[in-house]
Structure 1
Amino acid sequence: MDAFVERERYTGSRRHDRAELDAVRALRPRLRALWGASEDEAVDLVNAMLREGRALPQLVRHDEWEYHLHATDAEEPLDVRLMVEFAMAMVDVIRLQGLDRLRVCAAPDCSDVLVDLSKNRSRRFCESGCGNRQNVAAYRARKASGAS
């Protein structure tokens, strides 16, 4: 988790303990529920997260970052900050009617989620190599059927 927080440049308090990790992991089902939710269901889920996190959006500037939006106090636990930031991002997804861009990887052996940001809304696979594996499997299947 430290690598994720570092890579994504999350600021604020950290406990670095098992309880913090468990709280972050407990967010997964709540966030995943948005994939496949109707617009009204998504709004209810997002609003609940914003209320629970006591979101109070404000512009801040810190470190090398120019002004950007924070919606929680820096001293809130990491799971609360993650939840509220995710909910704030989903506000724009819902407002822009982009829920159909939230997908589950089309590979039969993968359940990762993705956000399709392609112009033609055609992305089907996550970034874990599933698309490449599926293309290789299809190629091998074509070669095998042509060789028979």
Structure 2
Amino acid sequence: MVFAPDTEIALRAVVNLINTAANGRESLARVADLDEFLQSEGFSGARAGDAAELSSVHELRGRLAALWTADEDSAVAGVNRLLREANALPQLMKHDEWDWHLHATARDAPLAERMGTEAAMALADVIRSKEMDRMLVCEAEDCDAVVLDLSRNRSKRYCDTGNCANRAHVAAYRARQATVR
């Protein structure tokens, strides 16, 4: 395990949120799409359930995407800004099926603020651990999705949004076969 379980969960949620806009596809176009995303990621707490909330999540997604590829100093500034804007006050919490983990906002804070604070707390762990090199962009030429490499040998290079790894492996195989003939 590279990070605490709640950090890994939050980082995967960040990856999944950023990738809702990968490769020119928008998969958070409607409030219902956001509802589905939040359900699949296990987000709880207050919800407005309106277009303004969806818009604020889109804005957060852009900020997190910029942080994903930022250098360390820029990432630190962005993480601190997210925490400052939320007046973050970390506390241990236990709810639903989750064991003890950190929350830094109230359950009734606006959704994008809660999501941003959770992401910032996870990214703070990544930065403090000097593990930003685990935050990647898919190596497939036609893909701009982000990748979280939690593998032991730091070998993950392709996203989980499609079949990028399979396509790359098939192309490499065909290239090798072409040189054999």
Q: State TM-score, norm by structure 1.
A: 0.91
For residues 72 and 140 of structure 1, what CA distance do their matches in structure 2 show?
A: 51
Tell which deviates more after alignment, 103-112 or 68-77. 68-77
More helix by share: 2
Task: Work out whether 1:96 is the aligned partner of 2:126.
Answer: no
Max Rg structure: 1
Q: For structure 1, which runs of at least 5 residues remain unmatched after alignment? A: none
The residue type paired with residue 169 of structure 2 is N
Aligned to 1:133: 167
Q: Find the counterpart in structure 2 of residue 83 from structure 1.
A: 116
TM-superposed CA distance for 1:12, in Å, is: 0.7
2:41 matched residue in structure 1: 8
- Between the aligned residues of both structures, percent identity stands at 54
CA distance in 1, matches of 2:42, 2:70: 29
Deviation at 1:49, TM superposition (A): 0.5
Aligned-residue Cα RMSD (Å) equals: 1.5
The answer to whether 1:71 aligns with 2:104 is: yes
Structure 2 unpaired stretches of 5+: 1-33
**TM superposition shift of 1:144:** 4.4
1:105 aligns with 2:123: no
Match of residue 19, structure 1, among 41, 49, 52:
52
**Structure 1 CA distance, aligned partners of 2:91 and 2:125?**
16
- Shift of the alpha carbon at 1:66? 2.4
Q: Residue by residue, what CA displacement relative to the aligned partner does 1:104-147 show, whole Å, maximum 9, x if unpaired?
A: 00000000011111112121111122111111122233334545
SS of 2:67 mapped into structure 1: coil
Q: What is the deviation of 1:35?
A: 2.6
Q: Alignment partner of 1:67: what SS? A: strand
Equivalent position of 2:82 in the other structure: 49
Structure 1 position 78, deviation (Å)? 0.9
Deviates more, 1:32-41 or 1:78-87: 32-41
Distance 1:23 1:47 in 2: 18
Equivalent position to 2:92, from 32, 42, 59? 59
State the TM-score, normalizing by the size of structure 2: 0.75
Q: How many residues align?
A: 147
What is the CA-CA distance between 1:29 and the residue it aligns to? 1.9
